[in-house]
Amino acid sequence: MNVTTNDLWSAIRAIREKAPVVHNITNYVVMNSTANALLALGASPVMAHAEEEVEEMVGIASALVINIGTLSPTWVRAMFRAAEAARAKKIPIVLDPVGAGATSYRTKTARELIRAVPPEIIRGNASEIMAILDAGARTKGVDSAASSDSAVAIGRELHTECGAAICISGETDYVIGKTGVVKVRNGHIMMTRVTGLGCTATALCGAFAAVNPDPAAAAAEAMAVMGIAGEIGAARSEGPGSLQLHFLDALYRLSADDIDRYLKIE
């Protein structure tokens, strides 16, 4: 698997031209920021989690993003219903197992979703990815207690078991797919001081999966765009508050020249 500058720019242009609807069942903490990031990139976000409407909403979507950050029984039921509808419609599903390993409820929910309706992409930090397969793995709240490279072996095992592209975020982002592992080295340390940027990466995976039929390539493209926008935004920021503003502006203004200048993928 290889993602070139031209590949990434073509995918961004496709998102901007098609404005795919990305249906997000996500958490209260990040709804506004992830919706704004999708809009800045060029996609069309919708945030709907009521059991009574999720299946109908999936019907107009080009991708479904499920984020388990703020769980409740009604939300979990809605996630399963939406996932089943997405599978029937044959649109890509992206799962973010936020906090898997922190509590048994989160870990159990993530595992059951993967088993019932295997997603095309699973994106999480190292601890979350490890917790899906390893009952002894633990997260630090919703933050990783491990480096991304330490989860690659389990990521490979998880990919083999469920077939999803596995995206492990960290200082280096790893994407594991059918043809191997891609490393994305874009990003900035200040991004770790802004809540919800991991969830934003998951939402952007949905946008790229809506225009790219290769889930692993779509995940790698999303992580590269996140990192590039983060680098550009950080260079213009004095701290995490202004980074949020400049990050969105960078997504909106992202050009082929920016990609050619910043892309660090192997």
Alpha-carbon distance 113 to 119, whole Å? 8
Mean pLDDT, the chain, as a whole number? 94
For 93, 111, 112, 153, the CA distances from 107, given in Å and listed in that order, are 18, 6, 9, 19
Assigned superfamily of 5-262: Ribokinase (3.40.1190.20)
Asked whether the predicted pLDDT for residue 31 surpasses 50, the reply is yes
pLDDT for position 43: 98
Percent of the chain whose predicted confidence (pLDDT) is above 90:
89
pLDDT for position 148: 78
Q: CB within 8 A of 65, min separation 6: which ones?
A: 22, 23, 24, 25, 26, 93, 94, 96, 202, 203, 205, 206
- Per residue in 136-180, pLDDT (tens digit) is 555 554 444 467 788 899 999 999 999 999 999 999 999 999 989
pLDDT for position 143: 47
Asked whether the predicted pLDDT for residue 54 surpasses 70, the reply is yes
Contact (Cβ atoms closer than 8 angstroms) between residue 164 and residue 158: yes
The full set of domain ranges for the chain reads 5-262
pLDDT for position 138: 53
